[in-house]
Amino acid sequence: MREVTVFVGGSVGSDPYSPGTWSGSSAFLLNAMKNADLLDKAVGIRLPKLQNYALLAKNFTRNRAVWRKHFYFDRAYRKALTNAAKAVPATSPVLLQIDHMFSLPTAFPGRRCVSYLDGNLAELVASGFGTEGVSRRRIDQALECEIDVAQKMTAIFTFSEYLRHSFIRNYSIAPERVHNIGGGINLTDLPEPAHNKDYRGSRILFIGSEFTRKGGPQLLQAFRIVRQSIPSAELHIVGPAQNSSQLSDLPPGAFAHGHLTKNDPAQRLRLESLFRDATLFALPSLYEPFGIEPLEAMLYQLPAVVTNAWALREFVTPGVNGDLVEKGSVEDLATKLTQLLSSPDRLAAMGQRGRELVLSRYTWPSVVDRMAEVIRKL
């Protein structure tokens, strides 16, 4: 039985199957739900053009990034999205919304409504990233809206146990109503294992367009220290534009590859080549809601070195499939990168265990199986 209608809208995007919606995860989730015979239909909600323009004008500021945040945090915008959802004909027993930008329980009172999230506003505010330039009043209004939506949900699905506890602690949701079902890797075709992968190359891979938030500056400092012990070490950076000011003074052995998208065949092949040639993945984020990049790296048998915080420490176990580093510590990062790169045999064993972990828990079919188990109990 196809029990669920999925709604997307707001900052995650309004086209359910677009490669850009919900950082690329929406289409993979929906296809897995369809294959599991769980999906009735998926709909995108957006405001009428004139209403959208009026709200944009109301929230105008000269800084485009702040303007965007004011717009999405506006209580009037969120209420208008909720009203737009009311117009959608939905007959399935369960209604699921991605993120908390609108309120299905308000639009469909008395119906079973659930949500699915990889992060929340409370954690974003606590991180110090993502709300720069936004007034405290506007942030508090958006938090009030999110708390109201969360408390009305029949159930909430999260990508991680860390986020599950955040909803319990910061949004006062009963523990039995919040379910950690995990998240999946956004790959259409899973790479075959490399049975003879060579880990002697000392090549580190970093992927992240938000270079500062992902710990890129700290990684560059640590890499300079690594090169003192391992002169042949390389660092390959994917995400920031190649002409970015943050990459203007790369040390010897560091290479910037710009932004590579999986939607372009040539760029996808280049990205796959970087994954296969690397021997270690590093993501020393200063804030990370979830972190799909290390999971995709593990699928290519790359051990991961990540920050000891948030969801990252739920899927990276020191000595098993990588290592954890202290947030913001260049010294700790350099030490652990050097230790791992100096032990090719350890890297090989860790890489195999990382791939096994991803295949067992972090694929979208396995996520949807866990989702279906909860939904069918509703």
Residue count of the chain: 378
Instruction: Give rounded-to-5 percent helix, strand, coil for the chain.
Output: 45, 15, 40
DSSP lists the bridge partners of residue 239 as: none
For domain 4-184+363-375, give the fold. Rossmann fold (3.40.50)
Predicted pLDDT at 1? 64
Amino acid code (one letter) for 374: V
pLDDT category, 263, cuts 50, 70, 90? Answer: confident
> What whole-number distance in Å separates Cα of residue 5 and Cα of residue 229?
55
Domain coordinates in residue numbering, the chain: 4-184+363-375, 203-361
Categorize the per-residue pLDDT at 130 as very low, low, confident or very high, splitting at 50, 70 and 90.
confident
Same fold, 4-184+363-375 and 203-361: yes
pLDDT (tens digit, 9 = 90+) per residue, 341-368?
Answer: 999 999 999 999 999 999 999 999 999 9
| Residue 285: how many other CB atoms lie within 10 Å | 27
User: 334-347: string of b/e by CB count within 10 Å (b at 16+)?
Assistant: bbbbbebbeeeeeb
Which strands sit side by side in the sheet containing 155-158, from one edge to the other?
39-45, 4-9, 94-98, 112-117, 155-158, 178-180
pLDDT band at 80 (very low <50, low <70, confident <90, very high): very high
For domain 203-361, give the CATH number.
3.40.50.2000
Residue 53 reports pLDDT greater than 90: yes
Which structure tokens are listed for 304? 């991961």
Give the ranges where the chain is alpha helix by DSSP (H): 25-35, 49-58, 64-73, 75-86, 104-107, 121-127, 136-152, 161-170, 216-229, 265-277, 292-299, 312-315, 330-341, 344-361, 364-375
The tens digit of pLDDT for each residue in 144-192 reads: 999 999 999 999 999 999 999 999 999 999 999 999 999 999 998 899 9
The one-letter amino acid code at 314 reads: E
Give the span between the Cα atoms of 117 and 277, in whole angstroms.
Answer: 33
**What mean pLDDT do residues 101-109 have?**
98
